[in-house]
Structure 1
Amino acid sequence: MSLRVAIVGAGIGGLTAAIALRRRGIDATVYEQAHELKALGAGVAIATNGSRVLTDLGLGDAIEALAGRVRGYAYRTSTGAALPIDPAALSLGDPERTWFLHRGEFQTALARALPDGALQMGRRCVGVTETPEGARVDFADGSVVEADVLVGADGIHSRLQGTVTDPADPVSEGIMAYRGLLPAERVRGVVDLDVSAMWLGPRQSFLLYPVSSGRLMNLVAFVPTTLDVEESWTAPGDVAELARAYQGWDERVLQVIGAMDETFRWGIYDREPLDRWSTGRITLLGDSAHAVTPHLGQGANQAVEDAITLAATLADASTGDVPDRLALYESLRRGRTRLVRNQAREAGRLYRSTEVSPAEQAERLRGIYDSIHINDHDAEHVATEALSRVGASR
């Protein structure tokens, strides 16, 4: 193996980056502060732009086995009427190549794809020192790791972000989400169990899709709030309070809420784009670099795109190449992630609009999804083409 890469954070982006780097002969190790990967009760959609990457890495069969497969998408008003658009015309991810996953199960599948020793738990980073030749990471247990490249994949509350640039403050939409999982059998006959469905209504929205091989349904209910709500998937919520927020909505929504045992609150925030992601030897990835609201389901997908882009740009690099390769990685990802961040915010506003007709909602949704090219964006191809142009110019 050539380069030594230390990745701080065992989220979706960090684990995918380690797998992709090791496929290219790069010695990548993930360091995670938690002592175990916990199966957080949250769903995640891996659309075509993400599933393409993971399939090419040889993970398709293992991840597809965990997915709640859907035959299509449904968009409805708060009263249950269908939006006047064919969901198949929206470029939001071919359902044949989109995986709806339980985040914990997905994370575990990625971790299992790494060899022994490539994921080290209970390693909390407490300090970083960068030199022209590499980076040193100090851990709370007194251990030290030296690497040619350090990747901060430690999430929306990234500690490593501050080693690269001034940290970005949270930006709230004035929205919080109730999240929950419930057995699919409880709502059989109430909703289609093989459809990803969204209800759009004044000031709030409601999303439902299958996960865990179809055994569970994942719901996310977005409601307005004036409170500072934790950026957490595990803050307890109140099912009765959730039900009150949707009084007067489509009866199917109320029946789904009535089938829940528990719910969790999640504050919806993103971050203003950073002025930079990289130094000579340190770079950021995923939410550490570009936190995004969840309204296009692209947070995890953009982290996967980051991961394959980083691996492709570091392929066959010498230690002396690293600063230029990290600069190339950042240049390839900044514009796309900024576009996705802006369009996710616009989608959230549109879902909850009080002034836009269903017909206009449908037309504007089409434009948002078309703009980010979920079905046809190939991050690995973009990166390899860019790297070949750099080589040809020398």
Structure 2
Amino acid sequence: MRVAIVGAGIGGLTAALALRAQGIDARVYEQATELRALGAGVSIAPNGARVFDGLGVGERLRAVAGQYSHYVFRTADGRPVAGEPSRLSFGDPQRTMFLHRGEFQAVLSGALPDSAIRLGRRVIEARDGDDGVTVRFADGSTVDADLLVAADGIHSRLQGLVSEPAQPVSEGIMAYRGLIPADRLEGIEPIAAMNACAMWMGPGRSFLVYPVSAGRLLNVVAFVPTDLDVTESWTAPGDVRELAAAYAGWDQPVLDIIGRMDETFRWGIYDRDPLANWSGRHVTLLGDSAHAVVPHLGQGANQAVEDAVTLATVLQGCVRADLPSRLRLYQDLRLARTRQVRDGAREAGRTYRSTELTPHERADRIEAIFDRIAVNSYDAQSVARAALSAA
């Protein structure tokens, strides 16, 4: 099997590692000329972390992850939600990693041989033929493969090969993002010690912080309402003064954290109605190209990681004649799971930003959402192995 993966994001790189672990010749083609260290935090819960442990890169990721011991959930006026430390969580602190996206990509790409990643390869055409797929790039080069994996993100150019293209849908929310050096946070509780993930929830807004880069930086994500078409980007500049105005009157630590920021970036929050079909004869989708979700459960990257290990597992021992049936199995395994997470993420966002719920009601709803998606116990590889054995 020869597999061409388009997109060197978390999902594409994880897919390459997982496929190569099965002895499959998988190579990544990325339009960027370098893998830039974008300043954005990424949450990897236990359902994603167990995949990286299985691929042998878990300890390298933990070495660059933010170290924390507990969660703090508060209302906008500072009241604890479900105790403090809170019983709520985005995943067991002992098995959840908060990572700087650039460092995350560096670990994954560094675990692949140089020959497995091709940069500066922008796809302009792909043809799914009888004997495989041919991909043509803007530099005039081509590659032939048995399988094309489109891991090219929410604005996927390759989605149309297998489905009627579906446009991203705004949640009516945008986020301000930023990173703050730990030494600038002295005296701000509960995050000065860089050992907590903290979220504040209030009418129309939520405010999330957690440590990354082995505790050297605090990642800030502030969700606010918008009626603008905000770019789905980590690099669109924002205004710290506008951010501060959006949280006027909130709990003092929120205001203090914003006061330590020198710059911020705006990030449009989008998802997409789940696609009915992900695969063609020799093409399949992975990650946001198939099932973009809003980030309120911290599960976007985790679902791409689950996709990657599921695809690699169902392709074990696959020959070309088996490919259509294996891709159907991959799709069937992932459709219901990713729809559940997508719906849960939307519900979580509404719960965080509710104008009516009491702290107790918020806690119950949040806990129920995370219980449904089983972030601490879901094992995508085991699910895929069982399904392949039963097929």
TM-score of the superposed pair, with normalisation by structure 2: 0.98
RMSD between aligned residues: 1.0
2-structure distance, mates of 1:132, 1:80? 61
1:164 aligned partner: 162
> One-letter code of the match for 1:76?
R
What aligned pairs does 1:195-234 form with structure 2 within 5 A after superposition? Answer: 195-234=196-235
What aligned pairs does 1:168-187 form with structure 2 within 5 A after superposition? Answer: 168-187=166-185
2-structure distance, mates of 1:80, 1:247? 13
1-structure distance, mates of 2:93, 2:173? 28
> One-letter code of the match for 1:292?
V
1:147-200 C-alpha deviation (Å, 9 max, x unpaired): 000000000110010111111112111111000001011112203211000000
1:188 aligned partner: 186
2-structure distance, mates of 1:296, 1:6? 30
Q: 1:87 to 1:158 in 2, by over 3 A?
A: farther
Q: Which SS does the other structure have where 1:39 is aligned?
A: coil
2:254 aligned partner: 253
Q: Is the 8 A contact 1:91 1:375 kept in 2?
A: no
1:388 aligned partner: 389
2:131 aligned partner: 133
1:114 aligned partner: 112
Can you give the 5+ residue segments of structure 2 that lack an aligned partner in the other structure?
Answer: none
1-structure distance, mates of 2:387, 2:323? 15
1-structure distance, mates of 2:84, 2:340? 25
2:281 aligned partner: 280
Percent identity between the two aligned chains: 63
What aligned pairs does 1:53-132 form with structure 2 within 5 A after superposition? Answer: 53-85=51-83, 89-90=87-88, 92-132=90-130
1:224-273 C-alpha deviation (Å, 9 max, x unpaired): 11111111111100001100111100110011000001000011110011
Matched, 1:238 2:239: yes
1:199-244 C-alpha deviation (Å, 9 max, x unpaired): 0001101000000000000000000111111111111000011001
How far apart are residue 330 of structure 1 and its match? Answer: 0.4
Q: Is the 8 A contact 2:73 2:84 kept in 1?
A: no
1:148 aligned partner: 146
2-structure distance, mates of 1:212, 1:124? 30
Q: Which SS does the other structure have where 2:115 is aligned?
A: coil
Q: Is the 8 A contact 2:88 2:363 kept in 1?
A: no
> One-letter code of the match for 1:215?
R
Q: Which SS does the other structure have where 1:96 is aligned?
A: coil
Question: How many residues of Structure 1 are paired with residues of Structure 2 in the alignment?
Answer: 388
Q: Is the 8 A contact 1:91 1:373 kept in 2?
A: no
> One-letter code of the match for 2:309?
I
2-structure distance, mates of 1:53, 1:114? 16
Matched, 1:333 2:334: yes
Q: Which SS does the other structure have where 1:117 is aligned?
A: helix
2-structure distance, mates of 1:154, 1:72? 34
Q: Which SS does the other structure have where 2:154 is aligned?
A: coil
TM-score of the superposed pair, with normalisation by structure 1: 0.97
Q: Which SS does the other structure have where 2:347 is aligned?
A: helix
Q: Which SS does the other structure have where 1:320 is aligned?
A: helix
The range that moved more, 77-86 or 199-208, is: 77-86
1-structure distance, mates of 2:89, 2:336? 20
14, 39, 61: which is aligned to 1:16? 14
Q: Which SS does the other structure have where 1:49 is aligned?
A: helix
Q: Which SS does the other structure have where 2:99 is aligned?
A: strand
1-structure distance, mates of 2:71, 2:89? 11
What aligned pairs does 1:340-379 form with structure 2 within 5 A after superposition? Answer: 340-379=341-380
Moved over 6 A (4+): none
Q: Is the 8 A contact 1:91 1:374 kept in 2?
A: no
30, 39, 42: which is aligned to 1:41? 39
1-structure distance, mates of 2:85, 2:365? 13
Q: Is the 8 A contact 2:90 2:298 kept in 1?
A: no
2-structure distance, mates of 1:94, 1:163? 39
> One-letter code of the match for 1:372?
I
Q: 1:86 to 1:320 in 2, by over 3 A?
A: farther
How far apart are residue 315 of structure 1 and its match? Answer: 0.7
Q: Which SS does the other structure have where 2:31 is aligned?
A: coil
The range that moved more, 361-370 or 83-92, is: 83-92
Q: Is the 8 A contact 1:90 1:370 kept in 2?
A: no
Q: Is the 8 A contact 1:135 1:148 kept in 2?
A: yes
How far apart are residue 86 of structure 1 and its match? Answer: 6.5
> One-letter code of the match for 2:315?
L
The range that moved more, 111-120 or 82-91, is: 82-91
1:31 aligned partner: 29
1:280-309 C-alpha deviation (Å, 9 max, x unpaired): 110000001100000000000000000000
1-structure distance, mates of 2:10, 2:152? 10
> One-letter code of the match for 2:332?
S
